[in-house]
Amino acid sequence: MVDLHTHTTFSDGVLIPSELARRAQVKGIKFLAITDHGDFSNMPIIVPALVRVCQKINALSLGITLIPGIEITHVPPPYIAEAVHLARELGAKIVVVHGETVVEPVAPGTNKAAIEAGVDVLAHPGLISPEDVALAAETGVYLEVSGRKGHSFTNGHVVALAKKYGAKLVFNTDSHVPSDLMDHSMAKRVIMGAGLSEEEAEEIINNGYLLAKKIIQGGV
């Protein structure tokens, strides 16, 4: 199992990175990205700290690989590309953008700006437009199938358009508390609940492995 969107006490999660890593390891997660909420105010603090802790834990070869990242959150669309550049400059190996979920007042245009900025994953993109899904397919940006309460309301919409336009999908839990973490079996059920077959669900889970390995090969 792979989870490329999680949170710790560096933002609104309840676990410190080491505890999150241990709990994820017990769930059978092999690759875990820590992607706390960030903007220009806190990224210079969060990202370098996550880089350090991920390096420390990875050096122990515990059977789980941590990936330091960020979830750029509620940054006005005109500044998203700049924020993505800063995050990568600070050492984020995976950059997620907080998409236009239907349960938060995310600024319109965030989905498009994130895709144009070349993020790795557009999280919970809500009622994303066909045009933006087609753009994600063209640019290789992954669209998230979310395990998070509320954000998951539009999984069916995201999945249907992704299938139509050939966009890549990845499943993440967006974990904030221990009970949010999911093993392979539960993740598959959530994906199938969005209207996909068991085989398609397995393919989406495998996409997480492919993306994680691509990121690792780039150097964590």
Question: What one-character-per-residue DSSP string does 47-95 give?
Answer: HHHHHHHHHHHHTT--S-EEEEEEEE-S--GGGHHHHHHHHHHHT-SEE
C-alpha separations of 205 from 36, 117, 182, 185, 191 in Å: 22, 24, 12, 10, 9
Q: What is the pLDDT of residues 126-182, one digit of tens each?
A: 999 999 999 999 999 999 999 999 999 999 999 999 999 999 999 999 999 999 999
Q: Which CATH number does the domain housing residue 10 bear?
A: 3.20.20.140
In DSSP notation, 95-125 reads EEEE---TTS-PPTTHHHHHHHTT-SEEE--
Going 71 to 23 to 20 to 177, the CA torsion angle's sign is positive
Residue 134 pLDDT: 98
- CA dist 33 and 40 (Å) reads 20
Provide the whole-model pTM. 0.97
Query: Residue 21 is inside which H or E element, if any?
Result: helix 17-26
Confidence of residue 82 (pLDDT cuts 50, 70, 90): very high
Tally of structural domains, the chain: 1
Instruction: Please give the pLDDT value at position 219.
Output: 56
State yes or no: pLDDT of 220 exceeds 60: no
By residue range, what is the domain housing residue 23? 2-217
37's enclosing H/E stretch is strand 37-38
pLDDT value at position 218?
81
Q: What tens digit of pLDDT does each residue of 6-61 get?
A: 999 999 999 999 999 999 999 999 999 999 999 999 999 999 999 999 999 999 99
